[in-house]
Structure 1
Amino acid sequence: MPVIEQGPIELLRRVRELHQSGVDASCVQRQHEATRLLRRGIRLLDSMHPVPPAHHDDWLRLRIRLLTTLAFSEAEVVGLAEGLARLDDVRTAIERFHDPAVRAELTAPVNHNRGLLLMGGGRNEDSIALFDAALAYREEQLAATPEPVPAPMVESLLNTLATRGLAYTRLGRVKRAREDLTRGIKLAEKHELRVSVAEVRRHLGALERRIGNVPAALRCFDESERTYRALEMEVPTQLRRERVEALLAAGLSDEAGEHLDEILPRLRQGRDNTRELADAELFRAEAALMSGDLDLARGLAESARQRMRRWGCQTCVANATIIGLRADTADALRTGEIPAALPARALRHARSMSAPRLAEQATVAKMLTVRVEIRRGNLRRASTLLAEVPRPGQLTPIDHRMLRRLCRAELAVARQDRRAALAEIRAGLAELDRVRDRMGGLELVSGTALHGRELGELAVRLVLGGEDPRRLFDWLERTRAQTYRYEPLPQAEDPELAECVAEIRGLTQSIQQALHDGHPTAAAKARRAELLREAHRMGWHAGNWGKPRPVAKMDEVAARLGNRALVSFAASADELVAVVVLDGGASIVRLGSAERAAESARMLNVDLNAMAPDHTPAPLAEVIMTSARRQAERLDEQLVRPLLAVTGERDLVIVPTGGLYAVPWGVLPSLHYRPTVVAPSATAWLSAELAGAGRARKVVLVRGPGLPAARAEIDKLATHYRTSKQLSGQGATATAVLPAVDGAKLAHIAAHGAHEPENALFSRLELADGAMFAHEMAGLRRPPRQVVLAACELALNRIRPGDEALGFASALLASGSQTVIAPLSKVGDQSSAAAMDDYHRALAGGASPAVALADAIAVDPMRRPFVCLGAG
């Protein structure tokens, strides 16, 4: 039947159905389908001629709705200009209404939508005038409406208010942005619009991230996500993306990459999600760049750039271009092979990004040109370009600030002005300190070091070339392990995190029972994995840290060492060196290849893990033992013997670097029976040494499940500590252990454990009611003065740039424990029990932790890979 033969009512009904189908398709990012449906609806409307007067207004309003929705779909599929042209058609349609009040009513959403499209295209300043006009009408409408105000009216006002706040955020107008967003949250709460509260709070999180308050941003995002989940709504992809931006600002590139890897497959399932997919690819490219995966960064940045070109967002295209350029520059500087066209291309990009909104991107391109020209020896050209780089503003990102400092330092080095270069590096690290001071949680504090990695490496290289051990010591302390300088404060419990952890424990018990009974566990395991990911995210901003302690001076360290020697390792490129401090002086010892030492340490741990089981067949054990001894001998020859020629018979305090954190020092032949303490920095060691012994006398002994040998172990230990509190069997629960060890002098925990490299604060001990996580012990009001972890691998750390080591044991040290005894690799139950009996017998007899452990390890070194961390 021809379309024209349909009656007006039936035709309008059919058009409404097409519009709703188009909206539905657009909401799930099927923009091509949405465009087809909406265009069909417009053709169907146009076939209705003449329009009966009784249906004229309905016909016109429906046409406006179709054109408005089509504007967004066509902007996505065809480009921004096409979308704006459709909104021009909407204005023309509105003028066909004779009633001025109707025209005003319909013009407000057009102003909002036009502003939204312009903002999406990077034209934030232009969008604000349109949002102002839309808000003026909606404010008048709200003021003239008696209570109760209809929810759609409030939602419309909130939508424009929040969007204007976002535009102000992008422009760096912080005060105006905060006013809009704070008012929006209050208004939404007043009218009990929970979805709107979540949405506006997400925008507030974006503002907090922009001004550098990453913990506050992550809290806003978490609160928004909890609201969506409580309402059984899907979490918006945009919220996930904004959380990624906050993680990148904190230097957590691996975490951000993993988060995006969860999102990208879903986005790629559809053909039409150009904008969202391009955004996700862009941030994934940035995460890859920060992690050093240059090929992945280049590929994703180019894919995002092509998608953004179709969308018409100049800002997004520029961001993708800059990531590709940064990857090419990093590759060239790393290999020393600089293509002749690279500096010209970088400068061409800088010059082409002339719009005010692209000033930040243009500045980065110019700084990359400076670095390349310095490497090529074109110092005059580099100096001229660097002079064009403006001083950072209030909202300049920290990575851009660090890049500017690096350019200035490298130019000074090229001019052979080492003093000026070190002054730039010192100023840059001071800026980074101010950012780090606001981070809050251990993960965020440690991750921030990524932004200063190249500055720190340059400082070490410069100072090492000067052969001045005192200055090298000072710079090593200034550039490494800054996490451990912060004074821990009592941590308020996060009820959401506590609830999440409690559910994880309950699920763990259910899974164990189901396995015992032969029931399915897949659903419970999937839920536990989901909760672990959620707890990890909450842990990003968990923690409460006070002011940073000053960096330790060499004279302070030397005075406290007494008859001991401190060995601080450092690597520059592949050269491994050590600064040895003893008797008030210092010297530099060169130790060969850093990569070779790290590989020997890795292989030694592989052998120790293989040898750990209590009942390994003798022939196999002998083969593994031979290999382990060979690796230990290699490490001993490369690292220890050259040092002992300087230190003599002194006890040692060792500050590792990189892969050397994995060395079980007491296993190495020359260190048998030699008391050795491992610390993340001399500053951290000095803080632990100077901490008062306090009046704590409580000793707590814990035996976790699944350790048959530990029953006898705990019984033996109890003979050394007659008044100890013992928790074992079903009584050894996390909920019982945590309050018991709070404020203890000594806490010994024998339990299975696991190091969690993706989020070290969620490394765990397995107790009767499930996992007890590192962040829980680290969050105690008074962490135990000494903690003994008779559990596998819990001395392991994840090493971030700047030698920021984070793991179960190191989290305890950062939180106030003075000494942690733990193994670096797997340990058999029987070997662990025997080692701990020897250790505690000596400790109870008055020996220091370092002395007691050295004697215990030397009895059977290869099966007792424990280390003494902190102070001894």
Structure 2
Amino acid sequence: MPVIERRPTEVIRRAWELQRSGVDASCAQRQHEATRLLRRGIRLLDSIHPVPADHQDDWLRSRIRLLTTLAFSEAETVGLTNGLARLDDVLAVIERFDDPAVRAELIAPVNHNRGLLLMGGGRNEESIACFDAALGFREESLAVAPDPAPVVESLLNTLATRGLAYIRLGRVKRAREDLNRGIKLAEKYELRVSAAEVRRHLGTLELRVGNVPAALRCYEESERSYRALEVEVPPLLRHEQAQALLTAGLSDEAGRHLDEVLPQLRQEQGNTRELGQAELFRAEAALLSGDLDLARSLAESARQRMRKWGCQTCVANATIIGLRADTADALRTGEIPAALPARALRHARAMSVPRLAEQATVAKMLTVRLEIRRGNLRRASELLAEVPRPGQLTPTDHRMLRRLCRAELAVAHDDRGAALGEIRAGLAELDRVRDRMGGLELLSGTALHGRELGELAVRLVLGGEHPRRLFDWLERTRAQTYRYEPLAQADDPELAECLAEIRGLTQSIHQALHDGHPTAAARARRAELLREAHRMGWHAGQWGKARPVAKLDEVAARLKNRALVSFAASADELVAVVVLDGGARIVRLGSAKQASESARMLNVDLNAVAPDHTPQPLVEVIMTSARRQAERLDAQLVRPLLEVTGDRDLVIVPTGGLYAVPWGVLPSLHYRPTVVAPSATAWLSAELARNDRARKIVLVRGPGLPAARAEIDKLATHYRASKQLSGQGATATAVLPAVDGAKLAHIAAHGAHEPENALFSRLELADGAMFAHEMAGLRRPPRQVVLAACELALNRIRPGDEALGFASALLASGSQTVIAPLSKVGDQSSAAAMDDYHRALAGGASPAVALADAVAVDPMRRPFVCLGAG
């Protein structure tokens, strides 16, 4: 008798241990091992026959746990049908409980788990019905529970998971409602880990609808919460942060982020799917940053790992990254290994399943480019004919790659007209993407897609002496971000919600294709929403109606007695189109690389000499070097141009490395009013912007600037009235509404420009960073902004001549003029320069004139530029 009593207890205890081991194996992606452990536990329970009455409850609950875990394991290894069948077995076990309240309590998690399995299988509508059933019971339980905390945790889990299902369906409003409610519940009951998890899901939603800044903010808040609670940051959060950074074009930052994560994943998790995904993201970041060797090695590592886990899509994506890196290397050097196009085509042919159609198309187009470069034009034409026409959901970079292939093939056939026609059509497609899907992050990012098209166009027209044609193509290919007229009317919330759902559905369709799930319902819903958006007057994104590209005659008419100089470079040839007196001419200026290197070296010297207390002997050495670089740039760029422009004021549109030139530092431009613009179109737009009756002057002093308190006080004396924010009052929360609608906003604050996306450049204020995307979101951006403490103008360029930095986001969102330094500037030098500038400005001088006079007093220590209109 004692033996009989002992045996059930030991068996049930052992079964529970096997279930926990099965969970551990499943979490480590060892599903077959998990299945063996769980089935062994079930067999152990079956060995107890009959089950003693006093062990019945424990025996049933142990069996439920084993079968539930087995359902997920078998769904992964055998198929969804098997997993759902195991949950049916769980329901049969639950029916053996006599108490109906216990049965109801146990059925709720079964509904939740059935929803999870259905969602994992792409059956999201069915999963939501299951989550609804689970939530119904948990809502009722919460209303009567003496201790609500355990019920709230279960309710939160289901609520957040239903939110994820809504995200996958592209139902943005419902997803946001569930996730926001989840965060409020978690905070109300002080479930801080749950709050962090739900906020991560909210970041996923924001990323799906294209609000990258909001997504990153959610992820950052979630990570901060985990760390404050001393809880390990989930790998999924790391991956999602990297994905958001890559979406924003911040490949360097995404790379740094993943470099911190990868060693930890390798040490803690071994050969897991999460590690493979992290390596895949890191390979993509390396490719975008131009680190081809790193991209290749990580892509190959990710490919091997994901092959083990059976993710065909991830294997194909890794293969494409490796091919892109090899192709970029070969095209750059001009050395095309004979085996490379054959390998690319072999991969294209192997990606034959429908879900890999996009990857197969990219591999084939890479083959086309390689064959063109090898001179195999017939073969390239045959392969290009196999590339399907883009569909509604074809990614932008795939569309542009197809156009590039067609244009390069036309060039190879010596049909320049056809090549320019393809480029023109491709850039028009980019315009439509920008016009329709809005968002400054997208407007800026599309420059990358059209970069090679634009470079090819400039190369084709640069050889001749046709200044008008070159001017037109330069304007067509560069700085398209600034072509948008910010919306003056209030946003249409119904249209905004519709567009968010369209974006969400687009991402959901791509995710479903990745996972091999059906997409018909999502495609039908997306098509319906597109029709609805058109009905509501959808004509542009959040940045408003697109302006046409400026024509030379329009620019010339507005210049009056000024001259516009638009630089262009192809290979190592640097030229300038000079527009004045109603006409234009081309001036050839020698080596583009030489000019860029001189600009870089000048910038280095100015950064070195900037600190207020640099020892005088060192200052003299650095100044000698800086003057030498300034003289070189002056001799190469400015003097040949002045032979054409005479003593006119200048509007300069740089290219590439010339954005780093602080033009007022160059000897021939001392005291000459000079405006820098990212394109002639941007300059003309700023010039023609209507001046409202704004009179508000706002002066801001950020933290950590010893000279700034006196500076702000002194600047205030130049104006009759001004609003001053300083010390603890200079918060982003206070500054943003203060500068909205201002005539002039002067902000003295440390900051940093983000070289890969203007939106994420920042100013450091009393309560932390104020990002450019927050300034860009103002209803009435200040007419003029002065950034007075750090290099927040622009000194690195995104391919496609999209000028970057805090200043560019301001210009793109409607500010007419931005005054900012191109390199570091000392606090004392900044204060002195700004006092001179504001005195002249308050006296009636234009920004360009006032700045030229202020800079000329001490050029090397005052590397400010006037951006936009002067």
Task: Identify the TM-score tier after normalising by the shorter chain.
Answer: 0.7 to 0.9
Contact map agreement 1:760 1:797 (CA 8 A) in 2:
no
Matched, 1:677 2:675: yes
Give, in angstroms, the shift of residue 561 of structure 1.
0.6
* Aligned twin of 1:649: 647
Counterparts in 2 of 1:483-502, with a 5 A limit? 483-489=481-487
Counterparts in 2 of 1:410-809, with a 5 A limit? 410-437=408-435, 440-489=438-487, 544-702=542-700, 717=715, 720-724=718-722, 738-757=736-755, 760-761=758-759, 763-765=761-763, 773-809=771-807
Give, in angstroms, the shift of residue 206 of structure 1.
7.0
Amino acid at match of 1:53: P
Deviation per CA, 1:349-400: give whole Å up to 9, x if none. Answer: 1111112222222111111111111111111211111111112222222222
* Aligned twin of 2:50: 53
* Aligned twin of 1:214: 210
* Aligned twin of 2:78: 84
Deviation per CA, 1:412-462: give whole Å up to 9, x if none. Answer: 221222222222222222222333345654344323322222222222222
* Aligned twin of 1:365: 363
Alpha-carbon spacing, 1:270–1:751, altered in 2? closer, same or farther (3 Å): closer
Q: Which segment drifts farther, 635-644 or 730-739? A: 730-739
Give, in angstroms, the shift of residue 326 of structure 1.
1.7
Secondary structure, counterpart of 1:409 in structure 2: helix
* Aligned twin of 1:501: none
Give, in angstroms, the shift of residue 556 of structure 1.
0.7
Contact map agreement 1:108 1:133 (CA 8 A) in 2:
no
Give, in angstroms, the shift of residue 558 of structure 1.
0.7
Give, in angstroms, the shift of residue 340 of structure 1.
0.7
Give, in angstroms, the shift of residue 307 of structure 1.
0.9
Alpha-carbon spacing, 1:603–1:18, altered in 2? closer, same or farther (3 Å): same
Contact map agreement 2:205 2:215 (CA 8 A) in 1:
no
Which structure 2 segments of 5+ residues have no match?
Answer: 97-103, 143-150, 187-192, 492-540
Deviation per CA, 1:43-84: give whole Å up to 9, x if none. Answer: 465467754133799879967864774686699xxxx7xx21
Q: Which segment drifts farther, 802-811 or 258-267? A: 258-267
Q: How many angstroms apart in 2 are the aligned matches of 1:839 and 1:144? A: 66
Amino acid at match of 2:12: L
Q: Which segment drifts farther, 714-723 or 805-814? A: 714-723
Secondary structure, counterpart of 2:575 in structure 1: strand
* Aligned twin of 2:279: 281
Contact map agreement 2:369 2:405 (CA 8 A) in 1:
yes
Q: Which segment drifts farther, 359-368 or 605-614? A: 605-614
* Aligned twin of 2:12: 12
Secondary structure, counterpart of 2:544 in structure 1: strand
Q: Which segment drifts farther, 766-775 or 252-261? A: 766-775
Alpha-carbon spacing, 1:349–1:13, altered in 2? closer, same or farther (3 Å): same
Q: How many angstroms apart in 2 are the aligned matches of 1:689 and 1:586? A: 20
* Aligned twin of 1:22: 22
Counterparts in 2 of 1:294-443, with a 5 A limit? 294-437=292-435, 440-443=438-441
Q: Give RMSD over aligned pairs.
A: 4.7
Secondary structure, counterpart of 1:357 in structure 2: helix
Give, in angstroms, the shift of residue 682 of structure 1.
0.8
Amino acid at match of 1:17: E
Give, in angstroms, the shift of residue 11 of structure 1.
0.5
Give, in angstroms, the shift of residue 573 of structure 1.
2.5
Give, in angstroms, the shift of residue 800 of structure 1.
1.7
2:862 to 864, 867, 872: 864
Counterparts in 2 of 1:143-222, with a 5 A limit? 148=140, 177-178=169-170, 213-215=209-211
Contact map agreement 2:74 2:83 (CA 8 A) in 1:
no
Secondary structure, counterpart of 1:214 in structure 2: coil
Contact map agreement 2:108 2:137 (CA 8 A) in 1:
no
* Aligned twin of 1:527: none
Give, in angstroms, the shift of residue 145 of structure 1.
8.5
Give, in angstroms, the shift of residue 270 of structure 1.
2.1
Contact map agreement 2:164 2:175 (CA 8 A) in 1:
no
Q: Which segment drifts farther, 47-56 or 605-614? A: 47-56
Q: How many angstroms apart in 1 are the aligned matches of 2:862 and 2:201? A: 53
Q: How many angstroms apart in 1 are the aligned matches of 2:280 and 2:366? A: 19
Alpha-carbon spacing, 1:313–1:613, altered in 2? closer, same or farther (3 Å): closer
Alpha-carbon spacing, 1:112–1:315, altered in 2? closer, same or farther (3 Å): farther
Which structure 1 segments of 5+ residues have no match?
Answer: 121-126, 170-176, 494-542
Give, in angstroms, the shift of residue 479 of structure 1.
1.7
Give, in angstroms, the shift of residue 751 of structure 1.
4.9
Q: How many angstroms apart in 1 are the aligned matches of 2:728 and 2:165? A: 57
Contact map agreement 2:816 2:869 (CA 8 A) in 1:
yes
Amino acid at match of 1:594: A
Amino acid at match of 1:52: H
Alpha-carbon spacing, 1:345–1:561, altered in 2? closer, same or farther (3 Å): same
Q: Which segment drifts farther, 698-707 or 777-786? A: 698-707
Count of paired positions: 791
Secondary structure, counterpart of 1:677 in structure 2: strand
Q: Which segment drifts farther, 768-777 or 663-672? A: 768-777
Give, in angstroms, the shift of residue 198 of structure 1.
10
Deviation per CA, 1:605-636: give whole Å up to 9, x if none. Answer: 22223323445444332222211111101111
Secondary structure, counterpart of 1:586 in structure 2: strand
1:816 to 814, 817, 821: 814
Deviation per CA, 1:84-123: give whole Å up to 9, x if none. Answer: 1898699699899999989xx9999999999989998xxx
Q: How many angstroms apart in 2 are the aligned matches of 1:808 and 1:380? A: 48
Deviation per CA, 1:689-734: give whole Å up to 9, x if none. Answer: 1123332334445555665655665565555434555566776666
Q: How many angstroms apart in 2 are the aligned matches of 1:576 and 1:855? A: 29
Secondary structure, counterpart of 2:13 in structure 1: helix
Contact map agreement 1:205 1:218 (CA 8 A) in 2:
no
Q: How many angstroms apart in 2 are the aligned matches of 1:614 and 1:95? A: 76
Contact map agreement 2:848 2:866 (CA 8 A) in 1:
yes
Q: TM-score, normalised by structure 1?
A: 0.78
* Aligned twin of 1:531: none
Contact map agreement 1:469 1:587 (CA 8 A) in 2:
yes
Secondary structure, counterpart of 2:450 in structure 1: helix
Q: How many angstroms apart in 1 are the aligned matches of 2:837 and 2:79? A: 79
Q: What is the aligned-residue identity percentage?
A: 78
Contact map agreement 2:15 2:44 (CA 8 A) in 1:
no
1:291 to 289, 292, 300: 289
Deviation per CA, 1:324-353: give whole Å up to 9, x if none. Answer: 112111211111111111111111111111
Q: How many angstroms apart in 1 are the aligned matches of 2:128 and 2:698? A: 63
Amino acid at match of 1:746: L
Q: How many angstroms apart in 2 are the aligned matches of 1:190 and 1:724? A: 42
* Aligned twin of 1:524: none
Contact map agreement 1:241 1:280 (CA 8 A) in 2:
yes
Give, in angstroms, the shift of residue 248 of structure 1.
3.8
Give, in angstroms, the shift of residue 655 of structure 1.
0.8
Alpha-carbon spacing, 1:19–1:415, altered in 2? closer, same or farther (3 Å): same
Alpha-carbon spacing, 1:403–1:768, altered in 2? closer, same or farther (3 Å): closer
Contact map agreement 1:741 1:784 (CA 8 A) in 2:
yes
Contact map agreement 1:750 1:790 (CA 8 A) in 2:
yes
Contact map agreement 1:68 1:86 (CA 8 A) in 2:
no
Q: How many angstroms apart in 1 are the aligned matches of 2:132 and 2:759? A: 52
Q: How many angstroms apart in 1 are the aligned matches of 2:628 and 2:699? A: 37
Q: TM-score, normalised by structure 2?
A: 0.78
* Aligned twin of 1:852: 850
Secondary structure, counterpart of 2:578 in structure 1: strand
Q: How many angstroms apart in 1 are the aligned matches of 2:635 and 2:800? A: 26
Amino acid at match of 2:798: R
Q: Which segment drifts farther, 286-295 or 794-803? A: 794-803
Q: How many angstroms apart in 1 are the aligned matches of 2:439 and 2:755? A: 17
Alpha-carbon spacing, 1:644–1:412, altered in 2? closer, same or farther (3 Å): same
Counterparts in 2 of 1:222-261, with a 5 A limit? 237-238=235-236, 240-242=238-240, 244-245=242-243, 247-249=245-247, 251-261=249-259
Alpha-carbon spacing, 1:464–1:63, altered in 2? closer, same or farther (3 Å): farther
Contact map agreement 2:791 2:823 (CA 8 A) in 1:
yes
